[in-house]
Chains A and B, each alone.
Chain A
Amino acid sequence: VRMKSRIPLVLVACGSFNPITNMHMRLFELARDHLHQTGRYQVIEGIVSPVNDAYGKKGLVSARHRVAMAKLALETSDWIRVDPWESEQETWTETVKVLRHHYNESLGLLQSKKEFMKNKWPTERSTEDSLSYQHSVLPELKLLCGADFLQSFKTPYLWKEEHIKEIVEKFGLVCISRAGSDPAQYINESDLLTKFQHNIFLVKEWIQNEISATQIRYALCRGLSVKYLIPDSVISYITHHNIYTEESEKKNEGDLLQPLKLHNTAVKPLND
């Protein structure tokens, strides 16, 4: 009797990762533990997707560095990796498109595995492997985030309504929050989120660990230690390339975030 198979699941985290911190990596570990404990999922991969430079956030350093630092940080992980696709696009890419891309990639991978198996065992054999690939469960892909992300859905013009819908309906969210904050409230306050709340996994982080990348950058600019908050290899990289300075912090100062800019240019013609 075959055991009910778990749904393979990929976690994608989008963000600046400016720089990546131990907290970012903790999100993955917490999410995986939680999803495994539901008994329904098998987390097969974690993807860190640093945002494109064109996002225009204040203090955002070159994607080349942000990707390199994430790579160093994730060297010791056997399931989380960094994917530069989003950062290599010509323009800023909406989150939903990033999710679509990685979902298609994971489907493609599954397809090529199926074909590999078929070629390996051209005749039908009732081996565990060939059976499982014939009746393989489609993987799911979910967006991994913190409660602030969930809250940002409310920020005017930051998200398109249809994108939020696609994210929670077709993909799903795994939202990590610290004890004391209440993401259930944000869900409750939104009809859309409430409708798809079965696809929003809320995970509580009991071990408070609020290592914000902004504070890391402040510390670095002031020559203060960030050891044990981000991996040593990332600290070495930052020091070696002198990445975070007063100057780098001023980048994009006064500019609008790209998604907000796009909204403005869309609205402008009406005002003429």
Chain B
Amino acid sequence: VEGPDKKTEVVLLACGSFNPITNMHLRLFELAKDYLHETGKYKVIKGIISPVGDAYKKKGLISANHRVTMAKLATKDSDWVEVDDWESSQSEWLETLKVLRYHHQKLLSPDPTNSLQNALPLTKPGRKRKQEPNRHEPIKKKNQSPDIKSVPQVKLLCGSDILESFGIPNLWKSEDIAEIVENHGLVCISRAGNSVQKFIYESDVLWRHKNNIHLVEEWITNDISSTKIRRALRRGQSIRYLVPDVVRAYIEKHNLYSPESEDRNAGVILAPLQKNASDSKN
């Protein structure tokens, strides 16, 4: 590595339903890594897929066990992207910021007990909280090579739809958005000709931290949404070459997606909307 410039170590964290995981999800990681490396300022050391918990209550969301298993199958041949089930094993839905904080803490601190403490929200008086034993091994701190800056970062990896969802009322807390872009950062993959830049321009908090929002243009249109995958499956259509073959085989074997599974949580309010609406009432 030439020059005195040091690189920042980055972990890419993708949160989402992964219902099911698709080749498009996996591409996000590849695109983000290439982009960050090309800036010359970052070194991506790890990718984490964190499927959302069942308590998110999204329509058609099947059990986290299956979603985590499929993601693990999809990444078993990857040498840098892995699946983390901490988020999905919590009994309540967790804000994305908390997941970011948890993984950030895990990176910094070799002590397992610290990380659980710092990520869990303060319990409200009178509410029982299920204490999960920490089954997650902290990342061992490597010997620092001379070209690496000392503080690694965990950045949220997402598509432009997530970024633009910041504007949906009650879906995100504004203080969470601020902390995400200020303390962590975003790597946002979007199609050429999208409206993300305009969205950032129109938001004061995003504009203020635009240096911490990396926009990556995806030139190879790859619109393989999980919704469309589930639709194809309901109609008996092939999903080959859109998801890893092991995932396709798993779905087939367990007959995961049907009109019934798509009706799950029908009429139920999404957890963040419910939470933020009730919090604002208090």
Contact = CB atoms under 8 A, between A and B. Distances in A.
Contacts of A77: 240
Contact of B30 (A22, A26, A76, A225): A225
A205 to B, nearest CB: 10
A227 B241 CA distance: 12
Given A225-B31, A228-B30, A229-B27, A207 B238 contact: no
A33 B27 contact: no
Interface in A199-213: 206-212
Size class of the contact patch on chain B: 20 to 34
A210 B228 contact: no
A29 B232 CA distance: 12
A232 B221 CA distance: 20
Contacts of B261: none
Contacts of A207: 223-225, 228-229, 232, 242
Contacts of B223: 207-209
Contact of A225 (B34, B221, B225, B228): B34
Given A207-B228, A225-B34, A228-B30, A215 B242 contact: no
Interface residues of A, number: 26
B111 interface: no
B235 to A, nearest CB: 9
Given A26-B241, A232-B77, A227 B220 contact: no
B242 A33 contact: no
A238 interface: no
B28 to A, nearest CB: 10
B245 A209 contact: no
A208 B222 contact: yes
B102 to A, nearest CB: 27
Interface of A: 22-23, 25-26, 29-30, 32-33, 76-77, 206-212, 215-216, 224-229, 232
25 contacts: A22-B242, A26-B240, A30-B238, A32-B238, A77-B240, A207-B224, A207-B232, A207-B242, A208-B221, A209-B224, A210-B220, A210-B222, A211-B220, A211-B222, A215-B220, A216-B220, A224-B34, A225-B30, A225-B31, A225-B33, A225-B34, A228-B27, A228-B30, A229-B23, A229-B222
Q: Which 8 A-B pairs have the closest CB atoms?
A: A208-B223, A225-B30, A29-B238, A22-B241, A228-B23, A210-B221, A228-B26, A25-B241
